[in-house]
A and B are shown apart, each in its own frame.
Chain A
Amino acid sequence: GENVEQHPSTLSVQEGDSAVIKCTYSDSASNYFPWYKQELGKGPQLIIDIRSNVGEKKDQRIAVTLNKTAKHFSLHITETQPEDSAVYFCAAGGFQKLVFGTGTRLLVSP
């Protein structure tokens, strides 16, 4: 089955800096790669996703890149703000089931 690894587990940046979170996956059949943001005591919120026929996708300050050959994908947040502080999860899968990474705790200091 699919296995997703996520790094780093914690990331501290200064406000305005960029943050990068990386994930690798094992199943070459996976074709869908979403990213979720989870704040304390709340459910995961979808922030961006990418499908296997696309190499890069951007939405304002957030971008995701996918390298299918190497089986890795990354989340890039530019101009970070304190409200970006949360736990971020990557996931990989296809129809029916997603496998999640273990999460990255991002702390943005003012």
Chain B
Amino acid sequence: NAGVMQNPRHLVRRRGQEARLRCSPMKGHSHVYWYRQLPEEGLKFMVYLQKENIIDESGMPKERFSAEFPKEGPSILRIQQVVRGDSAAYFCASSPWGDSGNTIYFGEGSWLTVV
């Protein structure tokens, strides 16, 4: 997972605040994925993006969550009006373009705690 950079690594927010998590993919990778991991659970797919496009957001909650991957800069996962149930580790992953049966590489994660 070397190369996928996530920040912040740890974030504490009060209920009702906004959380912004950033992800820079590995060099040369144009596909970004976000996964959520609740304590003692597996990884749940949230969203898959390419530059300036959301390809699959079937795992994103319908409200309060959004993601983007602009032409320039990192991918952003935004959570508005956070609630305690949003407390989790959020992992970003990236893969190179056009690799069928993608090999994806994860970052070290952003741990969100809502108090």
**Which A residues are closer than 8 A to B by beta carbons?**
6, 31-32, 34, 36, 42-46, 49, 51-52, 89, 91, 93-103
Compute how far the CA of A45 lies from the CA of B109 in the bound complex, rounded to whole angstroms: 12
Number of A-B contacts (CB under 8 A): 63
Q: Which residues of B contact A (CB under 8 A)?
A: 1, 4, 33, 35, 41-45, 48, 55-56, 91, 100-109
Q: A89-B43, A94-B100 are in contact. Are A43 and B108 (CB under 8 A)?
A: yes
Q: A95-B102, A98-B45 are in contact. Are A42 and B108 (CB under 8 A)?
A: yes
Q: How far is the CB of B112 from chain A (nearest CB, A)?
A: 14
A44 and B1 contact, Cβ closer than 8 Å, known pairs A32-B102, A94-B101: yes
List the B side residues contacting A42 at CB < 8 Å. Answer: 1, 108-109
* A-B pairs, 5 with minimum CB distance: A32-B101, A43-B106, A100-B43, A102-B42, A43-B108
